Each structure stands twice: as structure tokens, then as C-alpha cells.
Amino acid sequence: MPPDFSLNSTLGQIQTWKDQNKRIVFTNGVFDILHLGHVTYLKQARSLGDVLVVGVNDDTSVRRLGKGPERPINPEKARAAVIEALSAVDAAVIFSEDTPAALIGAIAPDVLVKGGDYDPECDDPNNKKYMVGRDTVLENGGEVVAIPLVEGFSTSSIVRRMRAPE
């Protein structure tokens, strides 16, 4: 039976890692069409700890993010399975909320990671550079990190190039 990528099915493993004093890193995203920017980012995120848990937006939340009417291109379980198959990733969890705040609260990671378009120092939740879950992680003694983006790689730009007339 394929994994369901739910938080409930992953919490036991997360607790085991915590009991083993593993440093848990968390990040999240859509990860619709995997590209160099994604794998570079995930590899760097994993280097910040012992375990990398990735929150993957479900299909409905991707549509609410306004990524475009054709998005997501790949369904949530396919996206989560591809992410979890990467050597840098230890677990993928699908979430349906607009933000991963509840997921971060439940996992209580040691490190929260986002791309360089976010600012770990930003404490204004209304600022688009604010990292959701930042306050929770910092209150628990964790660390918040932004990893530089790989220039020229984004799913949105790939979709635009695919749709462009020749």
C-alpha cells in the first residue's frame, strides 16, 4: 500500500527521530515540477540537520496560492512521492491549510528553512518575506534559515517557457 503522506502517519517516525536526538529540519512548498533549484535547495536544507521533513501543499491549497489555473500540474501524492524519493529528504507530509503553521507546530522542528525570497529576521506576519512558523520555531529554541535561490529556476518560469509560442 502506498504511503498516504499524512501528518498522522509520520508523527511516530518524527518522535523516534526526536528520541534519538536527531536535529530535524523542516521546509515546505509546492514542488510541482522538480528542477535544479528544488534539489539544490533541499540538499542545502538537509545539510543543516540530521533529518529533513518536507511539507507539500495539497492540490486545493496550491490553487488557493494563485499559481495559475493549470497548477498544480502534478497531483499531490505524486509530488510528495517524488520529493520523498530524493536522498536529501527523509519524509514528505501533505498539508491542506494555506500555510504550514499547524504542521510546523505539530512537528516542532529544530530548524525552519525557506528560500532566499524570505527573511529570517522579518517578524511582521503581514510582510511577504515573513517565514510562517518562524515564531514557533524560535520560541522552542530552534533556528530559522533562508537559503539562496538558484537563479533562473522556478516552476512558474518553466511553465511560461513551455507555453510560449516557438
Can you give the pLDDT at residue 155? 66
> Domain for residue 1, yes or no?
no
Residue 81 scores a pLDDT above 50 = yes
> Domain for residue 16, yes or no?
yes
Q: Which whole number is the average pLDDT over 80-93?
A: 97
pTM (predicted TM-score) = 0.92
Residue 70 scores a pLDDT above 90 = no
**Rounded distance, CA 41 to CA 113, Å?**
9
> Domain for residue 2, yes or no?
no
- Contact between 134 and 27 under an 8 Å Cβ cutoff? The reply is no
Q: What percent of the chain has pLDDT over 70?
A: 90
Can you give the pLDDT at residue 17? 98
Q: What percent of the chain has pLDDT over 90?
A: 80
The enclosing domain of 44 has a CATH number of 3.40.50.620
The 8 Å CB, 24+ separation contacts for 100-106 are 100/26, 100/28, 100/55, 100/132, 100/133, 101/132, 101/133, 101/136, 103/7, 103/26, 103/28, 103/55, 104/26, 104/55, 104/132, 104/133, 104/136, 104/137, 105/133, 105/136, 106/7, 106/11
The number of folded domains in the chain is: 1
**Tens digit of each residue's pLDDT (9 = 90 or more) over 89-119:** 999 999 999 999 999 999 999 999 999 999 9
Can you give the pLDDT at residue 33? 87
> Domain for residue 83, yes or no?
yes
Average pLDDT value for the chain: 92
Residue 2 scores a pLDDT above 70 = no
Of 81, 106, 105, nearest to 94 by C-alpha is: 81
Residues of the domain holding 148: 7-163
Q: Which whole number is the average pLDDT over 52-78?
A: 91
Residue 22 scores a pLDDT above 80 = yes
> Domain for residue 95, yes or no?
yes
> Domain for residue 93, yes or no?
yes
Q: Which whole number is the average pLDDT over 6-17?
A: 96
> Domain for residue 74, yes or no?
yes
Of 8, 2, 3, 31, nearest to 102 by C-alpha is: 8
Residue 1 scores a pLDDT above 50 = no
List, in sequence order, every residue forming a beta bridge with 113; answer none if it has no partner.
145
Q: Which whole number is the average pLDDT over 43-56?
A: 98
